[in-house]
C-alpha cells in the first residue's frame, strides 16, 4: 500500500505525462512527414510513462487542457521546435520532483532516463524552415531595433513633431528594410549554403518591416513626440524580450544575459542618438 502523499505526487506526474501525450499528438497533426513521425514517437513514449505510473496509483487523471491549448498555439505561431523545447524545459524543471521519489518507484528511473535522453535526441530530428532561417530573422529584428530606436530618438528632439518623426521613421525604416533584404539575398547567394537566397531575404525583410511598424505606430497615435517616443521604446523592449525568449528557447541560450545585452545596445544607441539630435538642434539654432 503506497503512502497517500506518494500517491498524490504520482498522480501529478501522471497528469504531466498525459498532458504531454495530448500535446505531442496535437503537434503531430500540424506537422508533415518526418516531423509528424517524430512527434508520434514522442507521444507514444509519454503515454507509456502515464501507463507505468497508473499501474501504481490505479487511477486515471485528466490532462491539463489549458497547457495543451497554449503549446499548440505556440507551435502555430513560433513553430514546432519552439513548442517542444519549451515543454522540455518545463520537464527539466520537474526532474527534481521525480528524483525525490525515484528510489521508491523503480519505473521512475526509466522515465527520467527517457525524458533526459530519448526525447532530447528526438527533438534534434525536428527540422523546420523558420529555424533554418532564424539568423535572417535575427538580423532583421536586431538591425531594426538598433537603427530605428536610435533614428526615432534623434528625430524626436531634432524635429519635435509627431507626424514628421513618424513619417521620417517610416521612410527610413522601409528603405532600410529593402536594403537589408537585398544584402541578405546577396550574402546567402554568395555563401551557397542551405538557405535559399530569396527566402532568406524575405525573412529578413518581413522581420524588419514588422519591427518598423511597431516602433513607428505611436508617432501617428500621439500628438506629443516625447510620449510617442516613450511608447516606441516600450514597444522595443517588448520586442526584445519576446524575440530573446524565442532565441533562448530554440538555441538553448542564457535568456537573462542575452536580454541585458540587447536592451543595453538598443537603449544605448537611442540615448546617444537623442543627445546628437539635441546637440545638432542647439548648434544650428533651430527652434520649434
Does residue 141 share a domain with residue 152?
yes
Backbone angles phi, psi at 270, to 5 degrees: -60, -40
In 3D, which of 90, 95, 110 has the Cα closest to residue 48? 110
pTM of the shown model: 0.66
Domain enclosing residue 258, as ranges: 130-284
Final residue of a structural domain among 127, 152, 187:
127
CB atoms within 10 A of CB 79: 20
Q: What is the spatial distance between Cα 123 and Cα 116, in angstroms, rounded to a whole number?
A: 11
CATH code of the domain containing 105? 1.20.1260
In 3D, which of 242, 200, 41 has the Cα closest to residue 126? 41
161, three cell numbers: 513633431
Does residue 147 share a domain with residue 255?
yes
Does residue 137 share a domain with residue 92?
no
Does residue 169 share a domain with residue 197?
yes
Does residue 209 share a domain with residue 72?
no
Residue range 13-45, pLDDT digits in tens: 888 889 988 988 888 888 777 778 878 888 888
pLDDT at residue 238 in the model: 86
pLDDT at residue 125 in the model: 57
Under 8 Å between Cβ of 240 and 234: no
The total domain count for the chain is 2
Does residue 105 share a domain with residue 151?
no
pLDDT at residue 137 in the model: 74
Residues in the chain where the model's pLDDT stays below 50:
none
pLDDT at residue 102 in the model: 61
Does residue 167 share a domain with residue 68?
no
Does residue 134 share a domain with residue 122?
no
Amino acid at each position: 500500500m503506497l503512502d497517500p502523499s506518494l500517491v498524490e505526487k504520482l498522480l501529478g506526474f501522471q497528469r504531466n505525462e498525459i498532458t504531454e501525450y495530448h500535446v505531442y499528438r496535437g503537434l503531430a497533426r500540424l506537422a508533415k512527414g518526418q516531423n509528424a513521425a517524430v512527434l508520434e514517437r514522442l507521444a507514444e513514449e509519454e503515454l507509456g510513462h502515464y501507463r507505468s505510473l497508473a499501474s501504481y496509483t490505479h487511477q486515471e487523471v485528466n490532462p491539463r487542457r489549458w497547457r495543451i491549448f497554449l503549446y499548440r498555439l505556440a507551435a502555430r505561431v513560433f513553430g514546432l521546435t519552439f513548442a517542444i523545447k519549451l515543454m522540455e524545459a518545463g520537464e527539466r524543471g520537474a526532474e527534481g520532483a521525480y528524483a525525490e521519489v525515484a528510489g521508491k518507484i523503480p519505473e521512475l528511473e526509466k522515465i527520467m532516463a527517457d525524458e533526459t535522453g530519448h526525447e532530447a535526441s528526438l527533438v534534434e530530428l525536428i527540422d523546420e524552415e523558420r529555424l533554418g532561417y532564424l539568423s535572417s530573422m535575427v538580423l532583421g529584428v536586431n538591425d531594426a531595433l538598433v537603427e530605428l530606436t536610435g533614428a526615432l530618438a534623434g528625430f524626436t528632439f531634432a524635429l519635435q513633431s509627431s507626424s514628421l518623426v513618424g513619417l521620417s521613421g517610416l521612410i527610413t525604416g522601409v528603405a532600410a528594410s529593402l536594403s537589408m533584404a537585398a544584402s541578405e539575398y546577396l550574402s546567402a547567394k554568395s555563401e551557397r549554403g542551405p538557405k535559399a537566397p530569396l527566402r532568406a531575404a524575405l525573412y529578413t525583410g518581413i522581420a524588419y518591416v514588422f519591427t518598423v511598424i511597431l516602433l513607428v505606430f505611436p508617432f501617428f497615435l500621439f500628438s506629443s513626440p516625447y510620449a510617442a517616443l516613450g511608447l516606441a521604446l516600450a514597444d522595443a523592449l517588448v520586442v526584445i524580450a519576446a524575440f530573446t525568449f524565442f532565441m533562448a528557447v530554440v538555441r538553448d541560450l542564457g535568456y537573462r544575459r542575452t536580454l541585458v545585452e540587447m536592451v543595453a545596445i538598443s537603449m544605448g544607441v537611442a540615448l546617444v542618438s537623442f543627445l546628437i539630435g539635441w546637440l545638432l538642434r542647439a548648434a544650428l539654432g533651430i527652434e520649434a
